[in-house]
């Protein structure tokens, strides 16, 4: 299992959101490019960067993200406001390793199928869930989709994977979140990446030994220094001992 650090950008600043609320960011007074470089120094090979201004439709952090792509050795997967095939292509042409599509998958599923076909293994589907339903438009609109049924619509697409974010995880119900991740993983052949549920090393261990996820995105816990990235990478990458089978 891999661990991927997360940088969320709003007005050029690193922030974290609680319950997906765009108007209540927790602001971190660090330089985003320097922070990404620090993640690389700690052993990370990739970083997930979300442009929250693009999500809200109020602006863009495009130049800052481009700097992270150019100035660090990390593979950068870009998320936020990517709702056309052209925008997917633009980010990949700029050097992003992967592009994340969420709202467009709800509003225009044909676009996601086309983007994945045109860029196989370079597009990730983001499934943001609140109270058992898939959310869109920056976690502000509730769709009618059940997450398990929703991911089934894209199982034939050559996607790089599915990122599952349980917005309710901020409420502290880790068992329910892990159950959701299990359900999605059981319903798809695609790799599943858990997001929003890691608050400490124990959560990484639980995901690893559950055996149902390919990786975990970790953001706020790193910025709050509740997790050391080097330790998290070690826990996630440790070999799992085989258990003896008894009859």
Q: Catalytic residue at 245?
A: no
Q: Catalytic residue at 128?
A: yes
Place of tokens 């993640």: 39
Label residue 6 exposed, middle or buried (CB < 10 Å: 0-12, 13-18, 19+).
buried
Strand partners, 133: 130
Which listed residue (8, 51, 53, 203) is catalytic?
8
Do residues 155 and 37 touch, judged by C-beta distance below 8 A? no
Which listed residue (51, 53, 128, 166) is catalytic?
128
* Token pair of 57 as six digits: 């439709």
Alpha-carbon distance of 162 to 159, in angstroms, equals 8
* Token pair of 5 as six digits: 């650090």
* Token pair of 115 as six digits: 């983007």
Do residues 68 and 74 touch, judged by C-beta distance below 8 A? yes
- Give the contacts of 169 (CB within 8 A, at least 6 positions apart): 177, 196, 197
Helix (H, G, I), strand (E, B) or coil at 96: coil
Residues designated catalytic? 8, 128
């Amino acid at each position: 299992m891999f661990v991927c650090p997360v940088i969320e950008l709003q007005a050029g600043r690193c922030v974290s959101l609680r319950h997906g609320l765009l108007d209540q960011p927790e602001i971190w007074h660090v330089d985003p490019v320097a922070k990404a470089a620090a993640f690389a120094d700690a052993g990370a090979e990739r970083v997930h960067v979300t442009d929250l201004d693009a999500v809200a439709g109020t602006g863009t952090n495009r130049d800052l993200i481009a700097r992270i792509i150019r100035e660090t050795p990390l593979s950068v997967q870009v998320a936020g406001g990517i709702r056309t095939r052209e925008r997917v292509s633009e980010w990949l042409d700029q050097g992003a390793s992967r592009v994340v599509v969420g709202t467009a998958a709800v509003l225009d599923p044909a676009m996601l199928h086309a983007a994945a076909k045109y860029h196989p293994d370079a597009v990730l589907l983001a499934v943001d869930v609140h109270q058992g339903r898939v959310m869109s438009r920056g976690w502000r609109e509730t769709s009618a989709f059940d997450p398990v049924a929703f991911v089934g619509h894209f199982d034939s697409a050559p996607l790089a994977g599915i990122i599952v974010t349980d917005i309710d995880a901020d409420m502290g119900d880790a068992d329910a979140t892990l159950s959701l991740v299990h359900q999605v993983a059981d319903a798809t052949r695609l790799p599943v990446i858990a997001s929003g549920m890691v608050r400490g090393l124990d959560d990484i261990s639980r995901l690893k030994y559950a055996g149902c996820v390919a990786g975990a995105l970790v953001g706020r816990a790193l910025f709050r220094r509740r997790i050391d990235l080097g330790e998290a990478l070690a826990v996630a990458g440790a070999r799992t001992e085989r258990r003896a089978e008894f009859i």
